[in-house]
Amino acid sequence: MNKSNKRGQKSHKSKHDKTDHPDPKTDSKLWKGDEVVFDSKKIPISIRIEEDVIDWFKSFGKGYQTKINEVLKSYMLAIEKRKSKH
């Protein structure tokens, strides 16, 4: 259930149980041989993401934005790798 915090922003209470989901950072089966890459150069952006997606990432605890970045980076590299093979 969403409630407003002191700033009037909605706070998200996760509907997800951490044990129900693989950790996208460490679950090797999830990536099927793709590599999770960590990079420290980041720029701030504003992006709209569906609430259930944010709730899922937040269910892992602190660092959900970093996890989202890691997933996006890994996806980008996997696509580039596949394109270079063709």
What are the sequence ranges of the domains in the chain? 25-85
pTM, rounded to two decimals: 0.54
DSSP assignment of the chain equals --EE-TTSPEEPPP-S-GGGS--TTT-HHHHTTPPP--------------HHHHHHHHTT-S-HHHHHHHHHHHHHHHHHHHHHH-
Quickly state the pLDDT bin for 4 (edges 50, 70, 90): very low
> Residues 73-84: pLDDT tens digits?
999 999 999 888
Q: Which two tokens mark 7? A: 């700033």
Residue 84 sits at the vertex; the CA angle it makes with 25 and 42, to the nearest 5 degrees, is 40
Using one digit for the tens of pLDDT, what is the confidence trace for 51-78? 999 999 999 999 999 999 999 999 999 9
